[in-house]
Structures are given as C-alpha cells and as structure tokens.
Structure 1
Amino acid sequence: MFDPTTFDNLKVILEGYVYDLDLDNVIVVTDRSDLVNLATMSRSFSISFKLPIENPTPTVKIQLEMIHEQLSGELLGKLEHPGCRVKIKIYEVKESSSIDEILVERLKRIWGKSYDLKLYVTQQIPENRFHHQYSLETLMLVLEVDGEILLNMVEYAMDSIKLLSQE
C-alpha cells in the first residue's frame, strides 16, 4: 500500500480546498501542475486561480514544494518533522509601472510578518503594458500538522486579489 508523504497530504488539503471554492463559484481555477523533478529529486505542486468576474483580474499561483533533503529524510525515516515550502505569486497587468505604496502596505498587513513580500515590475514591449508580480514566500516550513495554514494562505490570496481588483 502507498504511504503518502507530507507533501502528498498537504497537496490534497490545498487542492481539495481550492477546487471546493471553484465548485462554489468563489474562484475560477486557471491552471494546475504536479511535478516530480528527477534532476533534483524534489516534488512541486501549483494551482492558479482568479475571481469569477468578467473584467481581467489578478491571478494567484500557490506553489507547494518539497526539496530532496525533506523528501528523502521523510522516506528514510531520518526526519521527525518533514515539511514543505510554499510560494505565492500574484500576477496583474497594468497600463503603468507605478507602484502604489499604500497598496503594498495593505498587502503586507493581510499576509503578516511570516511572509516575505517582494514586487517585480516588467514592461511588455511594444504593447507598453506592465506586468506586476507580487511574490510571497513562507519563512518557515509547513508541516503535515499545519494543514490549516494552507487554508489561511488561500484565504489571504483571495483577500489580496479582491484588494488588487478594487484599484
């Protein structure tokens, strides 16, 4: 019988919650990826979603990763508490490269001090559109017992895209 890893269990929690929200028409899932990287012997799962409205809205991508040391440590029984990293990216396209500092501060308040928030702005030529990417990364490993933290991240992500959609 297959013994699921911490990664597998956290993935099921995240994926199930997001798809339940999609079924309830709270969000729309736009992409999903489930990868095993044989070069680094790591696992990665990501799911992307947006608000179910007609206007273009920001898109969120939540990525769950388990690196080699965590995965092998768990499988070999050498780690007592294996965990995963979580990265969140929020993408939006704007007509301007300007950064709203108040908006960035509001996003920091939503996510709190446990997440490192970075903003990247790139220009698309010749359309002269600007791609804003808000990147958040957990400063701690998410353990199997921390499934509720993943649910909170989905809620924070939905709050973030609602805030960005109000601009």
Structure 2
Amino acid sequence: MFDPTAFENMRIVMEGNFYDKDLNGEMVIVDRNDCINTAKLSRTYDLSFHLSRADPLVTCRFSLKANIENLTAELLPSIQSNKYAGCMVTIEFIFEQTFDGLKVNEIETILKQIWGEKRMITLTYSYKPLLPGQKGSYQAQISFDRMITEDQIDDLIVMTDYMLQTLERLEEVL
C-alpha cells in the first residue's frame, strides 16, 4: 500500500463534501471525471453540479489538478521545491445565453463580490457564427494564483458554499 498524495487526500475530502450536499438536496451532481495521464504523469479530477431546482441554467465545475512537479515536490522533500507541492484548483460556471454586454458586466460584478478582487476571473463567450440567433456558451472561470495544499482543505470545503452562492446569484440574473 502506498501513502496517499495531497491530491488524493484533497480529492477524497472534496468528493465526500460534494456528495453530502447532493444527498442533502443542495445540489445535483451531473458529471465526474478522475483522469490519470500516464504520458505526463498528471492527475485531474473534476466534478460538475447544478442547483437542485427545475430547469437549472448554470452548471459549476470544480477541478483539481496535479502534475509531475507537484508529486515530485511532495514525495522528495529533500529537493526543497515545496512551492510546487499541492494542487491547482479551478472553478468554472457554464451556461448558455445570447450575448448581452450589460449582463457580462453584471456577471463580473457578482463573481468579484463573491470571490474577491484578487481572484483571476476569466469570462469567455463562444458561439457558432454560421448559426445566427443561436444561444452561445458562457464560461466564467475562477483561478487561484497559487498552489492549494492540504493545509487549505477546510478552505476548500468553505469554497463549496461560495460555489453554491454563485450558482444562486447567476440563476437570479439569467
């Protein structure tokens, strides 16, 4: 048996947290992926969910990623690369709407109010230009400019409440 990595520990804690909220009726889990890239020795875990309501408009995707540098820094502390030990966390909110510049500003304001001014927020809109009048796809991504370690597991759990709050606020404006 091997000692679980920080990635494994954080994945297990977050997965349990998400499934508890699903069982309590706070959210509905709609997708989950746990991928190992053996060519690059990296791991990615993501879980997608939406609010427990009829016809939800917005889906949230939580992603946890660790690559070979992260694993090496954790398993070989003698090389003193602790700044790489841990995982990268990304949170995305995905929904379809026709493009509306005023709505984009409102969405950005909501994301900054909930996640803070220091978070890197990227909002993209894609559509099929040869199909006029179709709804396009929005993707709002919250990134953190640092490694997340096991020391922040409690923060990750609290972050789930921010995800739910963001879903509720986005659903209100859409």
Is the pair's TM-score, using the shorter chain for normalization, greater than 0.5? yes
TM-score (norm 1): 0.92
8 A Cα contact 2:121 2:143, kept in partner: yes
What's the secondary structure of 1:142's corresponding residue? coil
Larger mean Cα displacement after TM superposition, 125-134 or 73-82: 73-82
Higher strand residue share? 1
Q: Which residues of 2 match residues 22-101 of structure 1 at below 5 A?
A: 22-78=22-78, 79-80=81-82, 82-94=85-97, 96-99=98-101, 100=103, 101=105
Deviation at 1:145, TM superposition (A): 1.1
* Bigger helix share: 2
Q: Gaps (5+ residues) in structure 2?
A: none
CA contact (8 A) 2:50 2:56 kept: no
Residue 102 of structure 1: aligned partner? 106
Is the Cα contact below 8 Å between 1:114 and 1:139 reproduced in 2? no
Q: Percentage identity across aligned positions?
A: 29
Contact in 1 for aligned 2:124/2:138 (Cα 8 Å): yes
1:143 aligns to 2:149 (yes or no): yes
Task: Give structure 1 stretches of 5+ with no counterpart.
Answer: none
- After superposing on structure 2, the runs of 4+ consecutive aligned residues of structure 1 that deviate more than 6 Å are none
Check if 1:128 corresponds to 2:134: yes
Secondary structure in 2 matching 1:14 = helix
RMSD: 1.6
- Match of 1:145, SS state, is helix
TM-score after normalising by structure 2: 0.89
Instruction: Name the CA distance, whole Å, in 2 between partners of 1:114 and 1:48.
Output: 24
